[in-house]
Structure formats: C-alpha cells, structure tokens
Amino acid sequence: MKPYIISPSILSADFARLGAEVDSVLAAGADWVHVDVMDNHYVPNLTIGPLVVEALRRHAPRAFLDVHLMISPVDALVPAFAGAGANLISFHPEASAHVDRTLTLIREHGCQAGLVLNPATPLCHLDHVMERLDLILLMSVNPGFGGQSFIPGTLAKLREVRSRIGASGRAIRLQVDGGIKVDNIAEVARAGADTFVAGSAVFNSPDYAATIAAMRAALDAAA
C-alpha cells in the first residue's frame, strides 16, 4: 500500500464549480477525493446523492472516489452509490441492522468496504468483521459539518485500532476525518493513521498544492 493517502473532502469545496475543484485538488497532489453524503437524518445536514457521484465519475474517470455514507438506513442506497462510480464506500454501524451484511453488499457491488466509528462509538463494532474491511475510518469530530476542531481523544483510539489491524495481519487502511491540518497531521500519523481526510484545510487555503505539499512534508517528518 502507499504509505500515506490524502483525501480532500469536497464538503468544503465550491459546489458551484465542483468539477473544476476536483480537477484542481487532484492536480495539486491529492490521492483520493472524499465524498461526504449526509441525509439530515443520521446527521444534521443534507449534502449530495448518487447523481453527483455519477457526474464526478464522468468528469474525472480516473479519480478514486472515497464515498462516506452518513445515511440511515444505509443498505438501500449502497447499490446506487456503487453504480454511480464509488471506488470505496464506508458507513456507520449505527446505520445498519446487520453490519456484516452491509459490508458484503458493498463488496458484491464491486467496491472496497469501510466502517466508520464516531468519537463515542466503541471499538467492539470491529469484532468479527475485520476480514471484510478494506478501511476503518475514525471520526475525529462529530459528523455533520465541516470545519470542526480535532478531538484529541481520537489519538488513543487510533493507537488501539492500529494495534487491532496489526494483529489481524490484513492490509486495512486507517483513515481519520475531522480537523486535520498541516500542524497536526504528523501527530495523527504517529498515532497510527495512514489515510487523511482534509476538507477546509485544503479547500479554504489559497494554494491547494502548497497545502498538500506541506502535509506531505509533515508526514515525511513523522515517518
């Protein structure tokens, strides 16, 4: 696996020029594009649906679309987002009646599968499903809105999950989302993360390439 992945979240992009924003952030050195899907039910915000993912796939056919479903119930929409062009689909265990079934559904539709844990979600949700996971996403803010501050308690949780991944012997990516910036990304990497969602830190900066380069430099120093 690539040592570190930077996946800017389009939640902080200019939606009036979304295709151009995706082009710009990929040209600036982003590895993936993180797509936050919110339903105003599981989380208190409403964002985008499969049609936007489909449009992004047509616009950027080679982009890796990292789709984070903050919707409940989740199973009914997994096929729609997979069919729209998602490469990876992650979801919250609270949004699924049967986590193992949802992970299987994602994989059956040709996508990598991820499980997302909120700050107060216990790690026991990882029990018995590690063999079905390509990614574990730890939220370092409470989901629903961009621009929030990193919750420090996530660092200890990252270390615990990194230990679980090591014990599993599987190549599972450990992603973190919320408040990731140039000045804390190294500390988060040292705690065990290898995949980083950065929304406002990238899209609110005047120079996407300079910001992503600064993040990579901080990650190189943390290695």
Active-site positions?
Answer: 36, 177
- The tokens for 75 are 């199973």
CA distance 8 to 27: 12
Residue 79's contacts (CB-CB under 8 Å, 6 or more residues apart) are: 105, 109
Nearest partner of 158 among 212, 111, 199, 117, judged by Cα: 117
Alpha helices in 109-191 (DSSP H): 154-168, 185-190
- Check residue 35 and report its DSSP letter: E
34 touches 9 (CB < 8 A): yes
Q: Please, what is the Cα angle at 170 between 166 and 175, to 5 degrees?
A: 75
Whole-number Cα distances in Å, 25 to 19, 33, 140: 10, 8, 22
